[in-house]
Amino acid sequence: MQSRKFKFNKRQIDSLPPTPSTSRSRETEYTDELCSGLKLIINRQNRKRFLFRYTYFGVKKSIQLGEFPGLDIATARQIANNHKREIALGNDPKAIRDEKRNVLTFQEFAEQHYLIYAKVNKLTAQSDEGNLKLHFYPKWGKKSITDIGQQDIQKLLDGLLEGRKPATINRLRSLVLRMFRLAMEWGFVDKNPGQYIRKLKENNVRQRFLSRAEVSSFIKACNEEPNRT
């Protein structure tokens, strides 16, 4: 069994399995032996992120550092040590980060960060922009991105389900979950509020109607068939 505490290295982290679906916990936490307070969190989808746990005036706190491997081990340790230095000086790392961070509205984050990224990295960027304007801006445009929670996302998707197919809702779910995942990686939010929202079951049966030529061929074949039954 893999020890929950070891000296973090890329080879070993790459080999760590996702949290089992049978586990009571949705995430598994590992501790770095080399840097106190540095943790690696792995969820059931095998997403891996660094976290720094600390105590500030008797209160236990934590702060997200970033996702692995986008954030490498050496940088994660450096950030954790910087946070420990601030704590030694009497400062709360999380409070410092929040003061520096500009809290954006959902629309500001979408237009200033997500869509710029999408236009370079996604073929569906134009479709994403249309869906944001049509479905999300009217509800969340002026709302702080840090104030949007899991219940807000679920409520919006449930409302959109009326008159739309599950496949359409699943695409909108993927869009908003990807946005919040990137927002977390880029330091705008502490967690992805939609990570536990499940996909809807889709009916993949395709309905197609015969063309006039196909109808004629079908009737002709029926008339020529000797077995009348």
Q: What is the pLDDT of residues 190-202, one digit of tens each?
A: 788 988 898 888 7
Q: Same structural domain for residues 110 and 90?
A: no
- Among 37, 69, 100, where does a domain finish? 100
Does position 102 have pLDDT exceeding 70, yes or no? Answer: no
Q: Same structural domain for residues 107 and 209?
A: yes
Whole-angstrom distance, CA of residue 146 vs CA of residue 77: 26
Domain ranges, residue 157: 103-229
- Among 82, 100, 118, where does a domain finish? 100
Phi, psi of 44 (to 5 degrees): -70, -20
Q: Same structural domain for residues 141 and 116?
A: yes
For residue 101, give the nearest of 186, 38, 180, 167 by alpha carbon.
186
Percent of the chain, pLDDT > 70?
95
Amino acid at the residue 169: I
The pLDDT value given to residue 196: 86
Q: Same structural domain for residues 180 and 67?
A: no
Q: How many domains does the chain have?
A: 2
Q: Same structural domain for residues 86 and 133?
A: no
Q: Same structural domain for residues 44 and 131?
A: no
Q: Same structural domain for residues 124 and 93?
A: no
Q: Same structural domain for residues 130 and 154?
A: yes
Q: Same structural domain for residues 90 and 108?
A: no
Q: Average of pLDDT values for 97-101?
A: 72
Q: Same structural domain for residues 111 and 132?
A: yes
Whole-angstrom distance, CA of residue 82 vs CA of residue 50: 15
CATH number of the domain residue 205 falls in: 1.10.150.130
Please write the tens of the pLDDT for every residue from 37-94: 999 999 999 999 999 999 999 999 999 888 898 889 999 999 999 999 999 999 999 8
Please list the residues that pair with 63 across neighbouring strands: 52
Record the tokens describing residue 159, joined without a space: 């409302």
Strands 27-32 and 59-68: unpaired
- Among 81, 100, 119, where does a domain finish? 100
Q: Same structural domain for residues 48 and 147?
A: no
Q: Same structural domain for residues 55 and 128?
A: no
Helices (H), the chain: 10-15, 73-88, 93-100, 106-109, 115-121, 125-131, 137-140, 150-160, 166-185, 212-224
Whole-angstrom distance, CA of residue 133 vs CA of residue 148: 17
Whole-angstrom distance, CA of residue 109 vs CA of residue 64: 19
